[in-house]
Amino acid sequence: MKLSLDKISDHNSKLKLSHQDEWDFLSNKLSKEGVDVDELIQKIKDFQIAVPSWALGAGGTRFGRFGIGGEPRNLEEKLADIGLLKDLTRKTDSVSLHIPWDIPSDYSAIKSLASELGISFDAMNSNTFQDNGGSETYKLGSLGNSKKAVRDQAVAHNIEVVEIGKKLGSKGLTVWLADGSNFPGQSSLRSALQWTQESLTEIYKAMPDDWKMLLEYKPYEPNFYHTIIPDWGTSSLLCKSLGDRAKVLVDLGHHLPNTNIEQIVATLMYQDMLAGFHFNDSKYGDDDLTTGSIKPYQLFLIFCELISGSEDGAQAWESISWMIDASHNTKDPLEDLMQALEMISISFAKALLVDRRKLTTCQIEGDVVGAQECLQEAFQRDVRPLVREARIQNGGAADPIMLYRSLAVRKNLISERGAESRSTGL
């Protein structure tokens, strides 16, 4: 389904009056405070977040999966869904593919469809967490498996993913390993790390010079005694051994409860070691809940560190990749993604409004209360009119979910693709 742009302008003109009042009030106030409103809006407009190809179907748990209907049946339909999201939100202009779920059957057709929709190919994702028809099993690990034949197969898979990405114009490989052990004594902790390092070295050497490797970590699941890359420190250590183009990928859900993620971000940026982000939210573990639905203050604090790290020159903003990595099986995935994109934009906008000069003075002078006030002043602000204004200026809908529902997009997708269509993925 392709959205006619007239529908967006009709929708926007209906909401124009109420939006204009709210926006005039906020922009006047910001201008009086000395904020360069045009520059602020430009930053929000420019901030684009990749959508993974697996987030467009109903997610699932190990207990069950409840289809949403009208799910994309192939890569072409996945791109079409991202095109819809792009038209409505103007917040996403790239897709992150997962191999083997999304191997193109016709590369030039896929490339021309993507360019027609204005979508580029973000980092590629390899899959060695489930068996993919190779002769060896990943039951007891992949890149860090004790058997060389298994490691070789996993390395070859990653190199194949790079080759596929090269044909599409991608510039990055994301590696997340499910490797680890479920019981003490099951594996040699040190050897497993060494084998992983050796396998990653082979993959890194096979990447083109203008590619980067994004190395993800996770403390537990699917292995519950140990994972080979449990934390940012281990990931960082491996990346440093590989070379400058390997950096650490932070998935918000891949931390133990109450971990200070903003500090991890600050530490990684201090060393120019932050590859990118996987946005989601969590209450207990890797819950893959919608970004900002549980801990919006944490998300804001993370953005504060990102902005301060880039403005202070620790690490360039452009060197960081952004992607949503969540899926929830009780929501329409497109609506879920719109909610996530909105919350990410809101947190980013609030963090941009922090008076950093005042904050630095408070920090240096030891004004604890003043420093907290600086953050609260920005966090408590209602920036929704600002985010909406940026979206409207970019050609998006004033209220993407409202328009999506009023056009009955899901119903249309169900009549196009069927109620039982099922997207590839988990």
Nearer to Mn ion, 77 or 251 (CB): 251
Nearer to Mn ion, 170 or 308 (CB): 170
Q: Which of 96, 95, 100 is nearest to 84 (CA)?
A: 95
Under rule CB under 5 A, residue 179 binds Mn ion? no
Under rule CB under 5 A, residue 286 binds Mn ion? no
- In 217-363, the DSSP E strands lie at 226-227, 246-251, 274-279, 321-324
Angle at 83 between CA 88 and CA 274, to 5 degrees: 90
The footprint of Mn ion on residues 318-347 (CB under 5 A) is: 325
Q: Give min distance, CB of 139 to Mn ion, in A.
A: 22
Q: Give min distance, CB of 28 to Mn ion, in A.
A: 41
Q: Give min distance, CB of 321 to Mn ion, in A.
A: 12
Stretch that binds Mn ion, among 232-240, 270-278, 359-367, 386-394 (CB under 5 A): 270-278
Stretch that binds Mn ion, among 79-87, 146-154, 159-167, 273-281 (CB under 5 A): 273-281
Q: Give min distance, CB of 129 to Mn ion, in A.
A: 11
Sign of CA dihedral 234, 236, 347, 68: negative
Q: Give min distance, CB of 376 to Mn ion, in A.
A: 31
Nearer to Mn ion, 178 or 193 (CB): 178
Under rule CB under 5 A, residue 281 binds Mn ion? no
In eight-state DSSP terms, residue 65 is -
From the list 86, 157, 278, 417, which residue makes contact with Mn ion (rule: CB under 5 A)?
278
Q: Which of 350, 335, 360, 353 is nearest to 413 (CA)?
A: 335
Sign of CA dihedral 218, 223, 225, 226: negative
Q: Give min distance, CB of 136 to Mn ion, in A.
A: 24
Under rule CB under 5 A, residue 218 binds Mn ion? no
Stretch that binds Mn ion, among 115-123, 178-186, 229-237, 272-280 (CB under 5 A): 272-280
Stretch that binds Mn ion, among 36-44, 245-253, 334-342, 401-409 (CB under 5 A): 245-253
> Hey, what are 11's tokens?
């929708």
Stretch that binds Mn ion, among 13-21, 132-140, 187-195, 248-256 (CB under 5 A): 248-256
Query: Do the beta carbons of residue 117 and residue 144 sit within 8 Å?
Result: no
**Residues making up the chain, counted from first to last:** 426
Helical (H) or strand (E) element with 215: strand 212-216
Instruction: Enumerate helices (H) and strands (E) in the chain, giving the number of each.
Output: 15, 11
Size of the site for Mn ion (CB under 5 A): 3
Stretch that binds Mn ion, among 6-14, 136-144, 251-259, 408-416 (CB under 5 A): 251-259
Q: How many beta carbons lie within 10 A of that of residue 231, not counting itself?
A: 18
Nearer to Mn ion, 231 or 325 (CB): 325
Burial 123-154 (b: 16+ CB within 10 A, else e): bbbbbbeeeeeeebebebbbbbbeeeebbebb
Q: Give min distance, CB of 384 to Mn ion, in A.
A: 28
Under rule CB under 5 A, residue 251 binds Mn ion? yes
Nearer to Mn ion, 102 or 251 (CB): 251
Under rule CB under 5 A, residue 122 binds Mn ion? no
Q: Give min distance, CB of 178 to Mn ion, in A.
A: 12
In eight-state DSSP terms, residue 290 is P
End-to-end CA distance of the chain: 24
Helical (H) or strand (E) element with 10: helix 5-32
Q: Give min distance, CB of 46 to Mn ion, in A.
A: 24
Chain residues that interact with Mn ion, rule: CB under 5 A: 251, 278, 325
